[in-house]
Structure 1
Amino acid sequence: MSNAVANGLAGAGGGIIAQIITYPLQTVNTRQQTERVAKKGLGGADKKALPAQTRPAAGTLLQILQVLKTEGWGGLYSGLKPSLFGTAASQGVYYYFYQVFKNRAEAIAAARKKKGRGDGTVGMFSWLVVAAIAGSLNVLLTIPIWVLVTRMQTHTQAERKIMEGKKEALLAEALERGWEESTLHDKLTELESVKPRPYGTLQAAQEVHREAGVAGFWKGIVPTLIMVCNPSIQFMIYETSLKHLRAKHSASKRGLKNVNALEVFLLGALAKLGATVSTYPLLVVKSRLQAKQEIGGNVSLRYTGTFDAIIKMIRYEGVQAFYKGMSTKIVQSVFAASVLFMIKEELVKAYMLLADKGQKVMLDLSKRSLTKI
């Protein structure tokens, strides 16, 4: 097994464990990103497009408790199955291609050193290019999975908004036609008695296809491709820090080049923190594009593309909309990345150790065979 395959499998395993641990935070964060609230001072027709915020937004922990109360654990883990599949596929694809291009970059750096150019190490720009290529291939191959995951995470929220819109329309109709209170009560009771339809992976896929055809599965591709710079920045920080730390270990009295699990955990946290803060607005735009567009039934809330989403978010909600839920995302992504890096490195070490032992056993067997001959 090549080191690229080993890194791919280790990345998939680490990603699955990190995803399970941090998934409730991810669900709440996606809902925070897709919640639309009108900015202060909005007037005229624009004011009708979005609900005004009448009270301060609940904190992350309180939102988790609210979801548990109204939807149970199923609400926090909605879309987990396709998410785990997506994580395994995404991390596997990413780490496989990352290792392939990393090996190539290191070989080029070594060849340059032999020719008297450079010190034989891969530079910061090269790390960015390697991570960007691997990230782009990963996005193109796995984005349909994440479109479905986003739909499933925000389905309850979207259905609630649609129901609120229907109630408002019913109240407006009652006022216009002068309905009696009993008639209005019966209509509202009838509306509330409608049970939500089952919503799983198949239903999400059918909904996406019904709305936009096959192209709907690649919604948000533009900001997602631009967001390739997130893992690029992450791995640039990680690899550069890791190289310095290994050099420091090598120069110390211990003479150790390998870093321990805690150091990898902290390096992963530092790398992900820098990448998340710098690219978060793009993540919000991506989530908005991939979520159900008929929230509230208002045409002005639907986004036709990346540019349209950015313009409408600024117009109706203000610049602060691009940073909704960022604190939740920082906690979730930094912790998930730290766990992923730590587990991945330990799995790769275990594989290399087993591979070395296997080679020694095969070598011993070969020597015994030759001795007998």
Structure 2
Amino acid sequence: MPIVSKETLPPFGHAVAGSFGAMFALTLVYPLDIIKTRIQVQAKHDGVDDKEQEHYNSALDGIKQIMGKEGVAGLYAGLGSSLLGTASTNFTYFYCYSLVRDFYNKNYNPGGGTSSAAMELLLGAIAGAMTTLVTTPIAVLTTRQQTLPSNERQGIFGTATTILAEEGVAGLWKGIRPSLILCVNPAITYGSFEKMKQFVLETMKWNMTPGVNFIVGAISKTLATIVTYPYIMAKVRLQWKPSKELQDKVEPYKGAGDVLARVLKQDGFFGWYKGMSTQISKAVLSQALLFMMKDLFTNYTVIAYALLLQIARRKLAA
């Protein structure tokens, strides 16, 4: 069998492993994902009675309310588009990150030395920007499906068709500017993960077991979420669309700056961090699970890739 290792696995292989790991993680924590999205779009609007809007006091309260109104299925509204988004986002990110990193190592780091923290952040940001341009439409579809009332909710293609008809092509890229700024989020996550991983391996002399991967992944994602949360909230509100009942009563947001200014005026500084505990719980669990499962999925991908190479070589030899 051809010799294949994690180091020689091509970018496509790392992208596949990352995508499967991310989809597995998202499926486990999806109820938290839908709760954090709905909390993020909760706002005080002039002319709108508080009773007309859903309001969750906590993640547990949100789960109870959704279960009461929509049943268990309500906790998984938009799961299909979310899985599609997660798969495409992680596939694109890991693919781009591997390409960018390989390019950097071949041209600027031929000796294979350790990259600086700043370079790790830059490489992650470049890969994140490339990913965002491709995957923002799916994020918009997911947000709409997660936040619209069940009687207005459509499937993936129905939601996309409605957005194109009402808002044009630009509607699929709502929130693109804060999304590009948020490219620093995975950059912080993966950059800090690599540095902590290096510390664990070289200083602590520990092996990167699934448990250690989980802890290091959790810490790195928490750090990234705290730093970028106001823009995460702003992006979600820009991609959100009020229900038909509230459309005429809610003034549309003009941009991320408008979102942050209005939230600051209505709820104060801490309004920028509304729902952050749920966001961190969801983000940390999914990211830690991703780092843990990606390593396992990478092992399986290496085996599959080696088998495919073996089959291809036998066909060429025949």
Q: How do residues 151-170 of structure 1 correspond to structure 2 at under 5 angstroms?
A: 151-156=144-149
Q: 2:21 aligns with which of 14, 19, 33?
A: 14
Measured in 1, the distance between the counterparts of 2:308 and 2:239 equals 47
Measured in 1, the distance between the counterparts of 2:309 and 2:248 equals 65
Deviations along 1:19-46, whole A, 9 cap, x unmatched? 10011000010000001137xxxxxxx5
Q: What is aligned with 2:93?
A: 94
Measured in 2, the distance between the counterparts of 1:61 and 1:73 equals 14
Measured in 1, the distance between the counterparts of 2:56 and 2:139 equals 26
* 8 Å contact kept, 1:127–1:236: yes
Structure 2, unaligned runs of 5 or more: 1-7
Q: How do residues 188-267 of structure 1 correspond to structure 2 at under 5 angstroms?
A: 196-197=151-152, 199-248=154-203, 252=205, 259-267=208-216
Measured in 2, the distance between the counterparts of 1:320 and 1:96 equals 37
Deviations along 1:239-296, whole A, 9 cap, x unmatched? 11112222236xx5xxx8x521111111111110100011111011011010104672
Determine whether 1:268 maps to 2:217: yes
Measured in 2, the distance between the counterparts of 1:51 and 1:317 equals 15
Q: Which has the higher contact order (CA 8 A, sep 6+)?
A: 2
Shift of 1:99: 1.1
Q: What is aligned with 2:295?
A: 345
Letter in 1 for 2:165: R
* 8 Å contact kept, 2:41–2:237: yes
Q: 2:255 aligns with which of 293, 300, 305?
A: 305
Shift of 1:204: 1.8
Deviations along 1:161-189, whole A, 9 cap, x unmatched? xxxxxxxxxxxxxxxxxxxxxxxxxxxxx
Shift of 1:357: 8.5
Measured in 2, the distance between the counterparts of 1:362 and 1:314 equals 60
* 8 Å contact kept, 2:214–2:292: yes
Q: What is aligned with 1:147?
A: 140
Measured in 1, the distance between the counterparts of 2:302 and 2:250 equals 56
Q: What is aligned with 1:192?
A: none
Deviations along 1:85-108, whole A, 9 cap, x unmatched? 111111101001111112223334
SS at match of 2:148: helix
* 8 Å contact kept, 1:12–1:91: yes
Q: What is aligned with 1:173?
A: none
Q: What is aligned with 1:289?
A: 238
Measured in 2, the distance between the counterparts of 1:301 and 1:362 equals 59
Shift of 1:57: 4.8
Deviations along 1:214-248, whole A, 9 cap, x unmatched? 10000000111000000011011101111222223
Measured in 2, the distance between the counterparts of 1:345 and 1:230 equals 21
SS at match of 2:113: coil
Shift of 1:69: 1.5
Measured in 2, the distance between the counterparts of 1:219 and 1:292 equals 11
Measured in 1, the distance between the counterparts of 2:52 and 2:225 equals 26
Measured in 2, the distance between the counterparts of 1:209 and 1:7 equals 34
Deviations along 1:137-175, whole A, 9 cap, x unmatched? 11000110110100000002xx8xxxxxxxxxxxxxxxx
* 8 Å contact kept, 1:86–1:145: yes
Percent of matched pairs sharing the same residue: 31
Q: What is aligned with 1:84?
A: 83
Determine whether 1:135 maps to 2:134: no
**Per the alignment, do residues 16 and 358 of structure 1 end up closer, same or farther by CA in structure 2, a change over 3 Å counting?**
closer
SS at match of 1:259: coil
**Per the alignment, do residues 89 and 360 of structure 1 end up closer, same or farther by CA in structure 2, a change over 3 Å counting?**
closer
Measured in 2, the distance between the counterparts of 1:109 and 1:241 equals 23
Letter in 2 for 1:105: Y
Q: What is aligned with 1:318?
A: 268
Shift of 1:348: 1.7
SS at match of 2:203: helix
Measured in 1, the distance between the counterparts of 2:262 and 2:152 equals 30
Measured in 2, the distance between the counterparts of 1:204 and 1:356 equals 41
Letter in 2 for 1:236: G
Q: How do residues 166-181 of structure 1 correspond to structure 2 at under 5 angstroms?
A: none
**Per the alignment, do residues 357 and 215 of structure 1 end up closer, same or farther by CA in structure 2, a change over 3 Å counting?**
closer
TM value normalised by structure 2: 0.86
Determine whether 1:73 maps to 2:72: yes
Q: What is aligned with 2:281?
A: 331
SS at match of 1:301: coil
Shift of 1:62: 2.2
Which sits farther off after the overlay, 207-216 or 18-27? Answer: 207-216
